[in-house]
Amino acid sequence: MKRSRRADARLPAYVAAAVVGVVLSIAVGRAELAAIAAPWAVLALLGVADRRPPELRAVVAVATERVLEGDEVDGDARLAWHGTGDVDVILAPLPGMEVVAPTRVVGWCVTGATHPADAPVVLAFALRARVWGRHQLGELHVRFRRPWGLLVWDEVVAVGPEVRVLPGGAKVDRLLDPHEPRDVSGAHRSSHRGQGTEFAELRPYAPGDRLRDLSWSASARLGEPWVVVHHPERTGTLLLLLDTFLDGSETGTEALARAARAAWAVASAHLRAGDRVGLLASGRVTAWLAPTAGRRARYQLLDELLSVGAVAEDRRRHQGGSRRRSVPPDALVVGVTALRSPSFAGDLLAHRRAGRTVVVIVIDTADLLPGPGDAVEAAVQRLWGAELDVARHRLSRLGVPSALVGPGGEVAAAVAGLRRAGRAPSRVQR
Amino acid sequence: MTSRSHPRGGPPVATLWPAGRRALAGAAVAVATVTALAGGLVVASGRLALVFGAAHVGATLIAVQRPPAVGLHVATGSALAAAALVDSGDTVAGVVILVAGAVVGAELLGGAGDAAIVVERDPRPTVRRAALAGAMALAVAGLVVVLGAIDGPSGVLATAVAAIGATALVLVLAGAHRSGVRTARPGARF
């Protein structure tokens, strides 16, 4: 913990005034000059009379360390010290959070020893999770001064806990179909025939067919036994390709937040359906998670997403990306991007050229732009929107369909649009 | 956490102006103005006191902007009192009041500097402390004047007596302060 003691700016001034006054008084032999110096001397001596360090101790805690975006987090800072003093306390910085209480900052001024001698002062605060990610709640900075004291102790007495803000909002109830599902039972209709629930065709009964597959209505109508043939349901592999080509602006951070919300919504739906889901973040922040399924995969994926979010919020941190990436050839690649980076579009096309099915969820950030001030700005913004359309059209021509997610985060509609561009819908298996 | 450095490396400039700081800064300027007017017009009625009075108000305005410059306020306040002493001959009662005014102003400026933080500070404890400091300054300066006026030891000896008296007063006040300390239980954990 950082700790420093410094003198108030008044102390050298008081000492100098006292010394000069006394010296002049002695030099010219007039007690009146000592009268001018004496109050400064008294204040200076009072200011340094109590030099005991306050021995500050503190703990910062929050009620819950995992919240959704927009949720409130209650917490408190418990602070104790030795002796009487005026204490200024600030908890900062608070990345990804906005302050609900006590004021617009998490800070307090405690005047004098207003707490019982054997109990710490409890300073309650409330925050609202603003941006998804893994956020360290800063440090507790304390400034302490004794009554009449001209010595000031500045200390960092505690470190805030880590809060994991989960992306909230969008829910998806339909799945994107991989090009060729794996040979494991799941939610995706296989192109093969076999046991399943999805209707494929009617055909005449053949030796070996199960009696339960007989279509009694068709058999009665046609006068011979006919059976219903189904498509079996299989699990698939999904690779989320997250665009993190941030420009460092608020707009870029918000675009990434929207992209992460969309990615998490799609991933959650597919993980619930038993699919394997992987993550590849490319851009300024890189992250790689090999496709896996199950509950553990859910936590791993969330962890990677939160790490990306934390980097987006805290520009000092960088994510490593040196692990070997092995993208399964049958994976459905879902790009989630604002489509402003040519190199990200290049990545998408590289996956397409490798024979994978690639679809793109395009995050619309037009609403984040400030209103046009004049005709030139309006033209620039129109051009900006046209560039996005051109990029989408180019991808579509090369076999990569895309769907736009607006500011409301309508991921479900985007997924439905992408499904219309591909196959017939299939419901999520819950 | 309350100030930033000047782009060209000058002294730190407090950039936050919460209501508490504004109130204390306003009070400091008002006290300095009254002190300067009292020194230049009432106590001394001399040119030197007027000049130092104006300098005192100017120094206070600077110290309001730059808390580390409180030394200017203290220096000009002391100089104003000394100038008033020169201009008024041997009238020392007014000088004592001028010193007390400078002390009150300095304490208010110190409080204003402390209040330049993002957290809203209640200015009333600082105002009380400044008033108490002013009263103490009156008492201490008055005591020194009285001791210096006693027949017998004069000049250098009177100054020495005054210094001893002031030290004794400090020790008494510091002792009274310590007796009021409420200490958290040593080793208390939470």
Pairwise CA distance, residues A378 & B27, whole Å: 51
Say if CB A226 and CB A263 are below 8 A apart: no
Put simply, the chain B residues between 103 and 122 with a CB less than 8 A from any chain A CB are 103, 106-107, 109-110, 113-114, 117-122
Per-residue confidence (pLDDT) for residue B158, from 0 to 100: 60
Is residue B1's pLDDT more than 90?
no
Q: Dump pLDDT digits (tens) for B139-150.
A: 988 888 877 766
Tell me how long chain B is. Answer: 190
C-alpha B81/C-alpha B137 separation (Å) is: 13
Do A36 and B170 lie within an 8 Å CB cutoff?
no
> Would you tell me how many other CB atoms lie within 10 Å of the CB of residue A1?
11
pLDDT (tens digit, 9 = 90+) per residue, A161-218? Answer: 888 887 765 555 555 565 555 555 555 555 555 666 667 788 899 888 888 888 899 9
Q: How do A237-244 and A332-337 pair as beta strands?
A: parallel
Chain A positions touching B190 (Cβ under 8 A) are: 57, 59, 78, 80, 119-120
| Subunit contact B118:A105, Cβ cutoff 8 A | yes
- CB within 8 Å of A370: residues ≥ 6 apart: none
Q: Do A29 and B169 touch (CB under 8 A)?
A: no
Residues from chain B that touch A115, judged by Cβ atoms under 8 A, are: 184
Using a CB–CB cutoff of 8 Å, tell me whether B11 touches chain A. Answer: no
Element (H, E) at B107: helix B93-114
Q: Which of residues 86-125 of A touch B (CB under 8 A)?
A: 86, 88-90, 92, 103-105, 107-109, 111-113, 115, 117-120
Nearest to B30 by CA among B115, B114, B116, B112: B112
Contact between chains at A34 and B148 (C-beta distance less than 8 A): yes
Mapping DSSP onto H, E and C, the string for chain A reads: CCEEEEECCHHHHHHHHHHHHHHHHHHHCCHHHHHHHHHHHHHHHHHHHCCCCCCCEEEEEECCCEEECCCEEEEEEEEECCCCCEEEEEEECCCCEEEEECCCCCEEEECCCCCCCCCCEEEEEEEEECCCEEEECCEEEEEEECCCCCEEEEEEEEECCEEEEECCCCCCCECCCCCCCCCCEEEEECCCCECCCEEEEEEECCCCCCHHHECHHHHHHHCCCEEEEEECEECCEEEEEEEECCCCCHHHHHHHHHHHHHHHHHHHHHHHCCCEEEEEEEECCCEEEEEECCHHHHHHHHHHHHHHHHHHHCCCCCCCCCCCCCCCCCCEEEEEECCCCHHHHHHHHHHHHCCCEEEEEEECCHHHCCCCCCHHHHHHHHHHHHHHHHHHHHHHHCCCCEEEECCCCCHHHHHHHHHHHCCCCCECCC
**pLDDT for position B82:** 87
Give me the residues of B, 36-65, that contact A with CB < 8 A.
Answer: none
Rounded CA separation B160/B176 (Å): 25
Instruction: Reply yes or no on whether the pLDDT at B178 is more than 50.
Output: no
Cβ-defined contact of B103 to A39 (cutoff 8 Å): yes
If one compares A117 and B86, the residue with the highest pLDDT of the two is B86
Q: For residues B46-65, give the mean pLDDT.
A: 90
CB B174 within 8 A of CB A149: no
Q: Would you state the pLDDT for residue A17?
A: 92
pLDDT of residue A370: 78
Nearest CA in chain B to A117: B184
Find the Cα–Cα–Cα–Cα dihedral B101, B102, B103, B107, rounded to 10°: 100
Q: Can you give the pTM of this predicted structure? A: 0.63
- Each residue's pLDDT tens digit, A364-414: 888 877 777 888 888 888 888 888 889 889 888 888 888 888 777 677 777
Number of Cβ within a 10 Å radius of residue B186: 7
Q: CA B23 to CA B28: how far, in whole Å?
A: 9
State the CB neighbour count (10 A cutoff) for residue A65.
15
Most A CBs within 10 Å: which of B60, B62, B78, as the mutation test of the A interface? B78
Are B119 and A92 inside 8 Å of each other by CB?
no
Asked whether the predicted pLDDT for residue B130 surpasses 90, the reply is yes
Contact yes or no for A408/A169 (Cβ under 8 A): no
Which regions in chain A score pLDDT beneath 50?
317, 322, 423-430
**Nearest residue, CB atoms, B95 vs list A22, A32, A92:** A32
Class of residue A199 by CB neighbours under 10 A (exposed 0-12, middle 13-18, buried 19+): exposed
- Cα separation, A83 vs A54, in Å, equals 7
- Burial class for A154, CB neighbours closer than 10 Å (0-12, 13-18, 19+): middle
- Cβ contacts (< 8 Å) between B103 and chain A: which residues? 39-40, 43
What is the predicted pLDDT for the residue at B63?
94
Among A164-173, B60-69, B160-169, which range has the highest average pLDDT?
B60-69
Neighboring chain B residues of A140 at a CB cutoff of 8 Å: none
Nearest to B77 by CA among A48, A43, A147: A43
| Contact status of A133 with chain B (Cβ, < 8 Å) | no
Percent of chain B exceeding pLDDT 90 equals: 35
